[in-house]
Structure 1
């Protein structure tokens, strides 16, 4: 039996905002220290003004899924958004060899190698940047790129916020490890540990995220926020700002 109650249907693009779809995939096992733990998977697909697709955190390959994605447009960009979410990039690049692949720094030495065309390094200009803003949140063990789809006003995160619903976590061990109390979402404790040593850089990056006028937020694990996105980001990521007095006060609806 799955450790999580899935967000069905799986392997099917589900509309989330204008030209933005989320795809919930099968449960996988992720390395967690010396052991591995089950986790649900999710990717996000954005159709750009060109009609081409930008795919965030590709999930396990599936012929029917490929067909459904191709019905939305031509896959042009594939994104490995953090140090953990990259495993299926190789499969998607095999299917779409003409796509441009992007990855956060450090994945050049990933356990499962894949072609990296452009590293998501702060200051680097991306072809899609006019439609999707982004910022790099650096950590000691995990670095994550966070994105903002301007037209749909959707913030796209991976593990920086997790929002597991208590009723969907079947395993008591996982509930304890996740620190699950209620479905409000925040940065899990193990992830905070990787960001604290670089808290000044993290706080500066989060300030940019909090300035985005987000209506919705999608993350890799748990219930997405379908409304009040900017406020949810402030609540879930506010701990980074509180640890750095140099960061100015956030104002709802403010812009960069």
Structure 2
């Protein structure tokens, strides 16, 4: 990368373990993450050798999320949304030049065929719970009812109106490719799959197409 990595982003409070190693490699890079993560890392520092005490340059907070900016150069290419109502406090980024959406746990695309392509077959054995979870995180080609129910009743149930607002803002971006943390990249049809998965949130309808909710 030519030593010019300028930003290191933890997309949520769960995906951050290797930030310190990257920060050591690129000490001039600015660290970015959601609220709660700096405190979580400081608490873990000294217990986990992978986690250091690096300061964060930008921390997204729910109260000011529309006012928070990363930098002039970063904002020339990126839009971003802080989905604070997600249990993992998700940061979602849209890279405008290539029409790419980058996200961690907001939406999965299992099975992760590409990510585990080099893992020996004997190490890919899954138990019942793993298969069940994978089945609930697979958009497939048709109506992903399992994913929709999990997102509607589980992930967004506590603060659905605010969650819907974030999903609608993300959907307003003109992305074609979607890069998830978990699963294969969706190239060319990322927006289409995203809208199928989040249909109920985008339309403001109850599960199964029932009465409209007030947003």
Q: Tell me the TM-score normalised to structure 2 length.
A: 0.72
- The residue that corresponds to 1:75 in the other structure is 5
Could you tell me which of 149, 168, 177 is aligned with 2:133?
177
Cα distance, 1:95–1:166 mapped onto 2, change above 3 Å: closer
Rounded Cα–Cα distance in structure 2 between residues aligned with 1:178 and 1:188: 14
Choose 1 or 2 for highest CA Rg: 2
Instruction: State yes or no: 1:99 paired with 2:62.
Output: no
* Greater strand fraction, Structure 1 or Structure 2: 1
Instruction: State yes or no: 1:145 paired with 2:91.
Output: yes
Rounded Cα–Cα distance in structure 2 between residues aligned with 1:166 and 1:75: 27
Instruction: State yes or no: 1:160 paired with 2:106.
Output: yes
Instruction: State yes or no: 1:126 paired with 2:70.
Output: yes
- The residue that corresponds to 2:119 in the other structure is none
For the aligned residue pairs, the C-alpha RMSD in angstroms reads 2.7
Instruction: Give the count of matched residue pairs.
Output: 177
- The residue that corresponds to 1:85 in the other structure is 15
Rounded Cα–Cα distance in structure 2 between residues aligned with 1:143 and 1:182: 21
Cα distance, 1:100–1:181 mapped onto 2, change above 3 Å: closer
| CA shift for structure 1 position 176 | 1.8
Could you tell me which of 176, 181, 201 is aligned with 1:220?
181
1:99-148 deviation line (CA, Å, top 9, x unaligned): 11100111022234542111023120121122110001123631101111
Q: Tell me the TM-score normalised to structure 1 length.
A: 0.61
Aligned partners of 1:216 and 1:226 also within 8 Å = yes
Aligned partners of 2:31 and 2:57 also within 8 Å = yes
Cα distance, 1:182–1:130 mapped onto 2, change above 3 Å: closer
Could you tell me which of 209, 216, 221 is aligned with 2:170?
209
Could you tell me which of 242, 245, 250 is aligned with 2:213?
245
Worse-superposed segment, 169-178 or 146-155: 169-178
Aligned partners of 1:81 and 1:103 also within 8 Å = yes
Rounded Cα–Cα distance in structure 1 between residues aligned with 2:96 and 2:156: 26
Rounded Cα–Cα distance in structure 1 between residues aligned with 2:149 and 2:180: 13
Q: Which blocks of at least 5 consecutive residues in structure 2 are unaligned?
A: 45-50, 117-123, 207-211
Q: Identify the structure with bigger relative contact order (alpha carbons < 8 Å, sequence gap 6+).
A: 2
